[in-house]
């Protein structure tokens, strides 16, 4: 596992570094809620990100690392944990049709809010989230009726077996996460160099523009 994780982390970092030159400070939005992927993430620490690195930059790398962990855990589950695999297949159910603005996005943007934060006194005509909800509501009556499978009565033995498999899945996810972090540490200097070159100057420019605007407020 270690070899493949290292190789995939390397490719993930390569892809992130190829994307970073296209990042512009103006395109990063202020968030109104904490990002579940990035907040307090040990992966961000492993990458060497500090609080000065803008969230959209951190998110772009962490999204790629999350995919590595998810895919590895999925593979392990499919191969070794038949009970968990069956429960997951049951929980997935049929796909509903509809407009989903948050799907099929480039990795750099997955998990970010789809609408910009509202500004006071500037109401939106519509938001993407509202459109998606309306579309889902409209599609629901037309969709195939969903028959939820009634929860099967599990024997104590089956429950215990499922619990054991869930623990194995958790252990594996933790091990993969640790592997990703350890592999990522090897790329810290490459990441730091790119941040210094491509991100820091943009932050410096913005800060100097701001301080100039504060020092020389335009008289009206
Ligand atoms: Zn994030």
Write the pLDDT tens digit of every residue in 79-103: 999 999 999 898 886 666 676 777 7
Write out the two tokens for 208.
């100097």
Expressed in angstroms and rounded, the spacing between residue 35 Cα and the centre of ligand 1 is 5
Q: How far apart are CA 16 and CA 18, in angstroms?
A: 5
Length of the chain: 220
Expressed in angstroms and rounded, the spacing between residue 102 Cα and the centre of ligand 1 is 14
* Model confidence at 140: pLDDT above 60: no
Tell me, what's the pLDDT at 104? 72
Expressed in angstroms and rounded, the spacing between residue 168 Cα and the centre of ligand 1 is 27
How many Cα atoms are found within 13 Å in the side-chain-facing hemisphere of 148? 4
Tell me, what's the pLDDT at 111? 75
Expressed in angstroms and rounded, the spacing between residue 153 Cα and the centre of ligand 1 is 39
Write out the two tokens for 159.
């429950």
Ligand 1 (ion): which residues have CB within 5 A?
Answer: 35, 37-38, 59
Surface-to-core class of residue 213, CB atoms within 10 Å of its CB (0-12 exposed, 13-18 middle, 19+ buried): exposed
Strand partners, 122: 119
Write out the two tokens for 14.
């390569």
Q: For the chain, percent helix, then strand, then coil, each to nearest 5?
A: 65, 0, 35
Q: Is the model more confident about 32 or about 170?
A: 170
The whole-model pTM stands at: 0.73
Expressed in angstroms and rounded, the spacing between residue 45 Cα and the centre of ligand 1 is 13
Tell me, what's the pLDDT at 220? 47
Expressed in angstroms and rounded, the spacing between residue 140 Cα and the centre of ligand 1 is 31
Expressed in angstroms and rounded, the spacing between residue 98 Cα and the centre of ligand 1 is 25
Neighbours of 88 (CB within 10 A): 14
pLDDT digits (tens, 9 = 90+) for 22-74: 999 875 556 667 899 999 999 999 999 998 899 999 999 999 999 999 999 99
Expressed in angstroms and rounded, the spacing between residue 141 Cα and the centre of ligand 1 is 35
């Amino acid at each position: 596992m270690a070899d493949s994780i290292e190789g995939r982390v390397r490719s993930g970092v390569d892809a992130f570094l190829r994307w970073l030159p296209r990042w512009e400070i103006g395109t990063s939005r202020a968030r109104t809620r904490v990002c579940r992927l990035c907040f307090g993430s040990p992966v961000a620490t492993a990458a060497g990100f500090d609080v000065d690195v803008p969230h959209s930059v951190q998110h772009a790398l962490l999204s790629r690392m999350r995919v590595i962990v998810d895919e590895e855990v999925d593979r392990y589950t499919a191969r070794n944990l038949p009970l968990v695999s069956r429960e997951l297949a049951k929980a997935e159910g049929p796909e509903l049709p509809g407009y989903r603005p948050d799907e099929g996005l480039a990795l750099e943007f997955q998990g970010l809010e789809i609408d910009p934060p509202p500004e006071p006194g500037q109401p939106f005509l519509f938001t993407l989230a509202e459109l998606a909800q309306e579309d889902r509501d409209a599609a629901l009556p037309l969709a195939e009726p969903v028959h939820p499978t009634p929860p099967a009565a599990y024997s104590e033995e089956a429950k215990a077996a499922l619990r054991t498999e869930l623990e194995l899945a958790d252990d594996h996810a933790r091990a993969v996460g640790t592997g990703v972090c350890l592999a990522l540490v090897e790329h810290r200097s490459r990441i730091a160099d790119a941040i210094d070159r491509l991100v820091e100057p943009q932050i410096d420019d913005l800060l100097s523009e701001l301080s100039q605007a504060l020092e020389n407020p335009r008289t009206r």
